[in-house]
């Protein structure tokens, strides 16, 4: 989705692409390794995209100094963080507090999602479905298959998949452990956030409060940027209410950007070391205009159909893909790297492997440059 150009005053300072890049990397804890607990990082980043189990672990490994996968796994085992559908109707790893507040914030989007399944839900009382589904998953965690089968007993003429999706949209369903634990496996079984965490949902935060958190983690940003991140619409009013408390800029296309006045905006020439990011990292998904991280010539190269690849940043920008196979870290840059860049990428790859796989031995090799 492209940003809608908004008229800004001629005196609004210009933030070029590299300036936006460095500011965003800094907010995303990617400009330099940060000494921060895993819980504090998950909170600051307003959650980690978690369509698969491993991405949140690699996301923190790229950001934190002294991180160990067991730290995040222990938080999940202790129910201090959870996996739940929130932003953009995708699974995120959130702190327990954010789970209980952000899910109510995005509930209108989950309600709109059900419009796509209205034919399969003809004649279904959604309030009754939500109540029955709650009783089922709070009696014991259920897989989506089990939920479909149970709900179909009540509505045999409805589409079974639509019934299960309706339960997921109407209820704050979290994935229970061992799903999500490091080094463990487990199918997706669901219960309500309130049941799993042992406390009721909190009132949804005001849009204004979430704007401030978004800017702290992803700014400077436009209204369209935040709407893309949240999967919500009509956030312009919140930005306008906050305008006296914010500073504004314009990007190279003339789009108005908002930011916190005391937020860091590093010099565009600040060094940005290579980083190995997981698939689905929010850095690449949380702006309408992604050119601050994704060069136009590489747009779409981190995806193929519904498959997302693990990505490599060089000089702060998307520069290639990586994977682990046959005891090797295989790095596939999009363009040829200089000798110095290859050395830096290799060093960062070695660091990542020490953090994530300290008991294994991996070779590092560069694959064929993708043309």
Q: pLDDT tens for residues 265-315? A: 999 999 999 999 999 999 999 999 999 999 999 999 888 887 889 999 999
Statement: residue 8 has pLDDT above 60: no
H-helix or E-strand spanning residue 325: strand 317-325
> Would you place residue 1 in the very low, low, confident or very high pLDDT band (cuts 50, 70, 90)?
very low
Q: pLDDT tens for residues 27-79? A: 999 999 999 999 999 999 999 999 999 999 999 999 999 999 999 999 999 99
Statement: residue 3 has pLDDT above 70: no
Mean pLDDT over residues 88-117, rounded? 93
pLDDT > 90: percent of the chain: 88
DSSP code at position 52: S
Mean pLDDT over residues 12-23, rounded? 96
How far, CA to CA in Å, does 264 sit from each of 22, 28, 45, 111?
Answer: 9, 11, 15, 37
- Residue 254: Cβ within 10 Å count: 13
- Return the pLDDT at 9: 46
* Preceding amide of 178 cis, omega within 30: yes
Statement: residue 5 has pLDDT above 70: no
- Residue 276: Cβ within 10 Å count: 23
Three-class DSSP category at 237: helix
> Would you place residue 330 in the very low, low, confident or very high pLDDT band (cuts 50, 70, 90)?
very high
List the chain domain ranges: 33-197, 275-365
- Return the pLDDT at 369: 63
Helices (H), the chain: 17-27, 38-44, 55-61, 69-77, 96-105, 107-113, 126-139, 144-154, 160-170, 193-197, 207-218, 223-230, 236-242, 339-356
- Return the pLDDT at 306: 79
């Amino acid at each position: 989705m492209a940003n809608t150009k908004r008229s800004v005053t001629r005196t609004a300072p210009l933030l070029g692409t590299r300036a936006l890049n460095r500011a965003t990397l800094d907010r995303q804890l990617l400009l330099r390794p940060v000494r921060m607990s895993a819980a504090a990082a998950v909170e600051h980043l307003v959650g980690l995209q978690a369509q698969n189990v491993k991405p949140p672990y690699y996301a923190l490994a790229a950001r934190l100094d002294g991180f160990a996968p067991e730290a995040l796994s222990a938080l999940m085992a202790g129910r201090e963080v959870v996996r739940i559908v929130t932003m953009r109707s995708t699974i995120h790893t959130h702190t327990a507090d954010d789970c209980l507040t952000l899910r109510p914030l995005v509930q209108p989007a989950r309600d709109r999602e059900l419009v796509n399944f209205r034919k399969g839900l003809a004649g279904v009382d959604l309030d009754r479905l939500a109540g029955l589904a709650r009783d089922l998953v709070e009696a014991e965690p259920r897989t989506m298959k089990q939920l479909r089968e149970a709900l179909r007993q009540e509505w045999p003429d409805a589409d079974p998949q639509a019934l299960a999706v309706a339960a997921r949209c109407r209820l704050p369903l979290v994935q229970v452990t061992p799903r999500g634990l490091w080094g463990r496996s487990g199918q997706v079984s669901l219960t309500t956030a309130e049941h799993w965490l042992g406390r009721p949902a909190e009132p949804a935060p005001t849009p204004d409060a979430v704007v401030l958190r978004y800017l702290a983690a992803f700014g400077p940003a436009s209204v369209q940027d935040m709407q893309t991140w949240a999967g919500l619409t009509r956030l312009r009013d919140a930005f306008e209410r906050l305008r006296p408390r914010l500073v504004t800029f314009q990007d190279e296309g003339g789009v108005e950007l908002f930011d916190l006045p005391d937020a860091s905006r590093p010099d565009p020439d600040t060094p940005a070391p290579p980083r190995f990011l997981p698939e689905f990292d929010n850095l690449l998904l949380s702006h309408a205009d992604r050119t601050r991280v994704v060069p136009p010539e590489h747009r779409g190269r981190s995806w193929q159909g519904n498959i997302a690849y693990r990505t490599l940043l060089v000089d702060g920008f998307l520069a290639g893909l990586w994977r682990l196979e046959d005891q090797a870290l295989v790095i596939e840059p999009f363009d040829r790297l200089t000798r110095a860049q290859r050395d830096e990428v290799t060093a960062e790859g070695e660091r990542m492997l020490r953090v994530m796989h300290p008991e294994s031995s991996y070779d590092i090799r560069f694959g064929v440059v993708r043309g």
